[in-house]
């Protein structure tokens, strides 16, 4: 199986982590934004990463891909079967991919993607505004909802946690650490998720790649 894209994308990383947690072997074919690689384009007609291939089957969109992975390898089940738990896990996945990632994108795109990869100045005012005004209420929202078990749904690892951990990798990359005094639950939750063997190596690789390119602009 092949995933097309860059692990710096929270959507691509979500798929890589989900596959690792299911012990599925998956290769990453590293590509930049809107790559014109024909195999990638076959999998992702709109050019959005991740694209995915399993033999003659291709699909895109991280949520569709993880649904496929969960179906072909049922154990461990990372998308719960019970109706309410299933709905809740998919809700968290959606919140991570939309609300949190929209805020993250303003910071990551302007401080990293634009200056480092596209070689043009990012809109640092937009990034600062997102960090100062949009991020705090999101972290408050999460702080109020993390169960004592440290997992968002059913007191065990599910898609909800895998998805929610991803924008926080990018928040970390752009120098927006979580204040553990103000948000102790989020700090502990994200630290535990980011320490998992399925995620930690990607974070280390990405940090090293960013350092090599001179670090972020803030
Ligand atoms: N909902 C999609 C979002 C995919 C997406 O927006 N990917 C971004 C990278 S983080 C992309 O490829 N952007 C290229 C573009 O917007 O042209 C998913 O979950 O896979």
Q: Domains in the chain, ordered, with CATH? A: 2-72 (3.40.30.10), 83-212 (1.20.1050.10)
Helices (H), 79-182: 83-95, 101-108, 124-129, 135-143, 159-173
CA angle 19–24–25, rounded 5-degree value:
105
Tell me the average pLDDT of the chain. 96
For ligand 1, which residues put their CB under 6 angstroms from it?
9, 11, 33-34, 47-50, 61-63, 97
Q: Encode pLDDT of 208-217 as tens digits.
A: 999 998 777 6
What is the value of pTM for the model shown? Answer: 0.97
Q: What is the 9 CA–ligand 1 centroid distance (Å)?
A: 8
217: DSSP letter: -
pLDDT of residue 146: 98
- Determine which residue's CA is closest to atom 10 belonging to ligand 1: 9
Are 116 and 213 in contact, with CB atoms under 8 Å apart? Answer: yes
pLDDT of residue 29: 98
Q: Encode pLDDT of 18-70 as tens digits.
A: 999 999 999 999 999 999 999 999 999 999 999 999 999 999 999 999 999 99
């Amino acid at each position: 199986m092949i995933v097309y894209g860059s692990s710096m994308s929270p959507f691509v990383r979500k798929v890589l982590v989900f596959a690792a947690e299911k012990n599925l072997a998956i290769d990453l074919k590293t590509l930049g934004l809107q790559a014109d690689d024909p195999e990638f384009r076959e999998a992702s007609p709109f050019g959005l990463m991740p694209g995915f291939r399993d033999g003659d089957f291709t699909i895109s969109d991280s949520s569709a891909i993880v649904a496929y992975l969960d179906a072909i390898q049922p154990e461990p089940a990372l998308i719960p079967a019970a109706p309410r738990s299933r709905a809740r896990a998919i809700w968290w996945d959606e919140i991570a991919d939309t609300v949190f990632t929209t805020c993250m994108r303003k910071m990551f795109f302007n401080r990293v993607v634009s200056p480092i990869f596209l070689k043009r100045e990012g809109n640092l005012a937009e990034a600062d505004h997102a960090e100062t005004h949009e991020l705090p209420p999101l972290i408050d929202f999460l702080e109020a909802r993390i169960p004592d078990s440290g997992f968002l749904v059913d007191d065990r690892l599910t898609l909800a946690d895998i998805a929610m951990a991803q924008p926080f990798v990018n928040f970390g990359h752009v120098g927006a650490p979580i204040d553990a005094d103000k948000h102790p639950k989020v700090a502990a939750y994200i630290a535990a998720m980011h320490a998992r063997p399925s995620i930690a190596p990607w974070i280390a690789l990405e940090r090293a790649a960013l350092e090599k390119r001179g670090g972020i602009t803030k």
